[in-house]
Chain A
Amino acid sequence: SSTGFSLQAMDSSHVALVALLLRSEGFEHYRCDRNISMGMNLNNMAKMLKCAGNDDIITIKADDGSDTVTFMFESPTQDKISDFEMKLMDIDSEHLGIPEAEYHAIVKMPSSEFARICKDLSSIGDTVVISVTKEGVKFSTKGDIGTANIVCRQNTSVDKPEEATVIEMNEPVSLTFALRYMNSFTKATPLSNTVTISLSNELPVVVEYKIAEMGYVRFYLAPKIEEDEEDTKPQV
């Protein structure tokens, strides 16, 4: 759209959702005459983008009604110009409407800390319970070999602001999530020093990484709910 470049993708089981936004002001040159939606295979897109050097200038071009998108890579000295054309997919476009919600609790913490917590807990169990109270945020898991609890208290008195843990809480929140999705989310850690986790009871969690001043990557994960023992058994 004219305001920026946005992307939305879901996993095959429809449990997690990712939304990416790159605002138009962040591009050196941005032009969009008409809103357009393109279906892309992300594996193929990754293959294309790997052909770019780390310092290359990337230009993405697409025409209305076309079935391909063009990635152009220029080296900084402009002595090498690459032109890659990727075929688009025709996806049954199921764009999800994500309303702007007010969250019961918002936790902002260093992204490396969050990645470490998810990695440590996943060696113990496969689900994580995230609880936010006045005292702080607690990550808990339980597995065959035992249990694990990690509590992060609010600390805003550190020297560097990106190392602070800030908790805004309107209501106590406690939610259960699958850890393997959380670990997948933390692959975005290099994008930002901080991560923002927004929670409301019985709603999906939002794990957000800012991309400089340009936009964000937001991961949405549906919670797990406790069931009675009888319901989990198959009925014959």
Chain B
Amino acid sequence: MGVGGNFWDLLKPYARKEGFDFLRNKRVAVDLSFWIVQPENAIKAMHVRKPHLRLTFFRTISLFCKFGALPVFIVDGSPSLLKSRARIARYFRCSGIELANLPVPEEGVSAERNRLFSSHVQECAELVELLGMPVLKAKGEAEALCAQLNSEGHVDACITADSDAFLFGAKCIIKCFCPNSKEPFECYNMSDIEAGLGLKRKHLIAISLLVGDDHDINGVRGIGLDTALHFVKAFSEDDILNRLHEIGKGNTSQIPICIKVEDNVDGNSPNRKLSHCSFCGHPGSKKDHMKFPCEYCVTKDDEGCQRKPEDFKCDCFSCDMNRKHKEKKRLENQHTIFFHKIAEEPNFPKDEIIDMYLCNDNGYFSASDSPHIVWGNPNIEMLINFLNFHQHWEPAYVRRMMFPMISTIFLRDMTTTTVETTLFGQYEFDSVERVKMRYGYQFFVVKWKRAGVNISCKVPLKESSVQQDDAIELDEMVDLLDDFDAPEIHGDDGCSFLLTDENMDLVGAAFPAEVKRFWQEQELKRIKNSTSRSQENEKSPSPNSRSIQLNITEFYPSTKVKHRQSKQGEESSKNADSQGNGGSKMKRKMSSPDKIPKSVRRRLLFD
């Protein structure tokens, strides 16, 4: 909700679409209830088990691994009395019950949100804590604490769709977060709003008081966003709230008029309009102008005045002053109406709302203390139990989905310490497989090898079909909620590997020698291709052909892991067969090695 009256539309020209790396290594405050409300509205018709937990899980991993952000989750506290009253009023307005029956909330007791929603928030908070993310509880509004952390420099941005956050002091808000696009973040900066609109934080608070917000739905009756904006811009930030107080008390005489009109007009306020000629429209009389042309009609001496055009406006001194006088009166009248509307509003402006917006004490930590924001390692075992209980996910599935987070933490730790060399105690870094383009950004596809164990890939066909069913079902459900790339399982020569997409800088910092070797291999491959192509070009009869033909696979990488032929003998024999028989004897294998059955998958993910 936030500020009423299409406030986001006012800010729309100042939105920035930011790219993939915008949040890399940045601390981001996330309004957790906003994440919970969003899927519940969108997925009501679908039969998905606990969509709030699923979305929170996958989005946290996306934020952490894919975008490299460091999220801090903020949980709502108790809403203020004003907000409870406003919420009740909104409910009754929608339901059509008369206002006379409106219950008054008891003093000192705030109505809590509904129990189901609170339990959802609690479950999500528990989940992100198990994922190792810091969770802070706000005293009141979550976006207030998000904004305070942003303002004080503890976080770099806030993820919330509530425009209140700017009023609470936020500097950077990410309103939309679409992981599936090239520019996933719709970002608003307070500095842009100040530069473009001339509005600072207290200006925004004044607008919300006039137009209405979460805590006072109606605002001042009869004042919309345009009127409020026009009025608020006339004052400085430090002055605006004091002016509202004075207007609310009815002290309109002290308010200076915004538009300065020349003082000499006042002396002529009872001035009568000069008589004007009905023929040419200039001062004078028609009879006089018949004899002699007036000074305004600059014509030849022997001709009379020109007839005035249809849309004629006299621009003589007298008429000009008259128009200015009328304009001044109209503006005075407008301001008088405006002031009266504000003065008629009882108890305006509400000091509780202003104090709440300007409050710098929204969290359970003192000003001298910093909030406890630490990103730790996820608790894998408890997480597996938690998700098995709530989502009925298999431990193997949880470990596989968690793998990108573990690999990201591992790569980050490699730059500082070299304590552990394996993930989950069993996987280790093998090599950089290739470069992958996703939404215009480059990633390394990193290959993780299981340490020291060979697994036989021979499995009966029956389990293979069962595994396919599971994979299809899971993929469909994940696709419906959010984009998430599970690590690919790749079998090669009896060993099993996992492939993840990692940030290039992170891999370069963790394993510089490996990355250097990878680029050298790429360069060697390029030189080899270049040499072979140049030889082909020289064989061609045309001496003018000096260009190098590029390869289509360099632009469109394979979406499936290529199953390499482990033995050269088999490869050459197959080639011989295809050449000799035109490929007619080649038969489709009943079970392709690319489809790893469930038991192998289970072994890979250490059930």
The answer to whether B312 has its CB under 8 Å from any CB of chain A is no
Contact A127 B545 (CB under 8 A): yes
A204 to B559, CA, bound (A): 18
Least CB distance, B575 to chain A, in whole angstroms: 12
Known: A43-B582, A96-B559. A226 touches B546 (CB 8 A): yes
Q: Which of A2-34 contact B (CB under 8 A)?
A: 10, 13-17, 34
B528 CB to closest chain A CB (Å) equals: 12
Determine if A88 and B588 form an interchain contact, defined as CB atoms under 8 angstroms apart. Answer: yes
Stretch in B91-99, B450-458, B531-539 touching the partner? B531-539
Q: Which residues of B contact A66 (CB under 8 A)?
A: 588
Residues of B within 8 A of A (CB-CB), count: 41
Q: Is A79 an interface residue (CB 8 A)?
A: no
CB-nearest residue of chain B to A226: B547
The answer to whether B513 has its CB under 8 Å from any CB of chain A is no
Is there an interface contact between B548 and A97, defined as CB atoms closer than 8 Å?
Answer: no
CB neighbours of A89 from chain B (8 A): 583, 586-588
Q: Mark A50-89, 1 if CB is under 8 A from B, else 0.
A: 0000000000000001110000000000000000000111
Contacting pair B546 A227 (CB below 8 A): yes
CB distance from B376 to the nearest CB of A (A): 36
Q: A15-B551, A127-B547, A223-B550 are in contact. Are A93 and B594 (CB under 8 A)?
A: yes
Interface residues on A, range: 35 or more
* List of B residues within 8 angstroms of A227 by Cβ: 530, 534, 546-548
Residues 148-194 of A at the B interface (beta carbon under 8 Å): 176, 178
B549: contacting residue among A15, A87, A95, CB under 8 A: A15
Residues of B within 8 A of A99 (CB): 437, 556
Q: Are A67 and B587 in contact (CB under 8 A)?
A: yes
Do residues B588 and A224 form an inter-chain contact, with CB atoms below 8 A? no
Which B residues are CB-close (under 8 A) to A221? 552
Q: Which residues of A contact B583 (CB under 8 A)?
A: 41, 44, 89
Cα distance A99–B537 in the bound complex, in angstroms: 31
Q: Which of A200-224 contact B (CB under 8 A)?
A: 203-204, 220-224
What 1/0 flags go to A37-55 for Cβ under 8 Å of B? 0110101100000000000
Specify the chain A residue showing the minimal Cβ separation from B461. Answer: A65
Contact A126 B545 (CB under 8 A): yes
Minimum Cβ distance to chain A for residue B461 (Å) = 8
Query: What are the residues of chain B within 8 A of A10 when measuring CB–CB?
Result: 552-553
* B542 close to A204 (CB less than 8 A): no
Question: Would you give the shortest CB distance from A86 to chain B, in whole angstroms?
Answer: 9
Q: In the bound complex, what is the Cα–Cα distance between A94 and B560 (angstroms)?
A: 6
CB neighbours (8 Å) of B558 from chain A are 94-97
CB-CB under 8 A from A87, the residues of chain B are: 584, 586-587
Q: Contacts A90-B586, A231-B530; is A14 near B556 (CB within 8 Å)? A: no
Q: Which residue of B lies closest to A223 (CB)?
A: B550
Q: How many A-B residue pairs have CB under 8 A?
A: 127
Chain A residues within an 8 Å CB radius of B586 = 87, 89-90
Q: Is the interface of A mostly helix, strand, loop or mixed?
A: loop
B residues near A224, Cβ cutoff 8 Å: 547-550
Q: Chain B residues with Cβ under 8 A from A39's Cβ? A: 588
A234: chain B residues within 8 A (beta carbon) = 531, 534-535, 538
Q: Is the CB of A15 within 8 A of B552?
A: yes
- B499-558 residues with Cβ-Cβ distance < 8 A to A are 530-531, 534-535, 537-538, 540, 542-558
What A residues does B584 contact at CB under 8 A?
41, 44, 87
Question: What CA separation (Å) do A170 and B582 show in the bound complex?
Answer: 46
Q: How far is the CA of A81 from the CA of B592 in the complex (A)?
A: 34
Which of chain B's residues have a CB closer than 8 A to the CB of A38?
588
Q: For the complex, give the distance between the alpha carbons of A67 and B591 in Å.
A: 11
B562 at the interface (CB under 8 A from A): yes
Q: Which of B553-594 contact A (CB under 8 A)?
A: 553-560, 562-563, 565, 582-584, 586-590, 592, 594
Contact in complex: A88, B551 (CB < 8 Å): no
* In the complex, A229 has a CB within 8 A of chain B: yes
Within 8 A of A (CB), among B183-199: none
**CB <8 Å contact, B544 and A222:** no
Say yes or no: is A135 at the interface (Cβ < 8 Å to chain B): no
User: Which among A65, A142, A222 is the interface contact of B554 at CB below 8 angstroms?
Assistant: A222
Q: Which residue of B lies closest to A142 (CB)?
A: B544
Query: Closest CB-CB distance, B531 to chain A, in whole Å?
Result: 7
Residue in chain B with minimal CB distance to A43 = B582
Cα separation A40 to B554 with both chains bound (whole Å)? 24
Q: Is B553 touching A96 in the complex (CB atoms < 8 A)? A: yes
Residues of A contacting B565 with CB < 8 Å?
92
Q: Are A222 and B563 CB-contacts (below 8 A) given A126-B542, A126-B545, A233-B534?
A: no
- Which of A17, A90, A127, A178 is close to B589, meaning CB atoms less than 8 Å apart? A90
Residue from A16, A44, A93 in contact with B552 in the complex, judged by beta carbons closer than 8 Å: A16
CA distance A10 to B556 in the complex (A): 12
Docked-complex contact B552 and A126, CB < 8 angstroms: no
Note all chain A residues with C-beta closer than 8 A to B555. Answer: 203-204, 220, 222
B562 surroundings in chain A (CB, below 8 A): 92, 94
Q: Which of A106-146 contact B (CB under 8 A)?
A: 125-127, 142-144
A89 and B588 CA atoms in complex are apart in Å by 5
A225 touches B588 (CB 8 A): no
CB neighbours of B543 from chain A (8 A) = 144
Expressed in whole angstroms, the minimum distance between the Cβ of A43 and any Cβ of chain B is: 7
Interface string of B427-463 (1 = CB under 8 A from A): 0000000000100000000000000000000000000
Q: Which residues of A contact B551 (CB under 8 A)?
A: 13-15, 222
Name the one of B531, B534, B552, B563 contacting A17, with C-beta atoms under 8 angstroms: B552
Q: Which residues of B contact A44 (CB under 8 A)?
A: 582-584
Quote the shortest CB–CB distance from B539 to chain A (angstroms): 11
Interchain CB contact under 8 A, A90 and B587: yes
The answer to whether A220 and B545 touch across the interface, beta carbons within 8 angstroms, is no
* A31 CA to B547 CA, complexed, in Å: 47
A residues near B587, Cβ cutoff 8 Å: 67, 87-90
B552 touches A204 (CB 8 A): yes
Closest to A38 in B: B588
Contact A93 B560 (CB under 8 A): yes
5 tightest CB-CB pairs across the interface, nearest first?
A224-B547, A97-B559, A96-B556, A222-B550, A67-B588
Complex A-B: 26 CB contacts under 8 Å: A34-B472, A41-B583, A41-B584, A67-B588, A67-B590, A88-B587, A88-B588, A89-B583, A89-B586, A89-B587, A90-B588, A92-B565, A93-B563, A94-B553, A94-B558, A95-B559, A95-B560, A96-B552, A96-B556, A97-B557, A126-B542, A144-B544, A221-B552, A225-B547, A227-B530, A234-B538
A: residues with CB less than 8 A from B are: 10, 13-17, 34, 38-39, 41, 43-44, 65-67, 87-90, 92-99, 125-127, 142-144, 176, 178, 203-204, 220-227, 229, 231-235
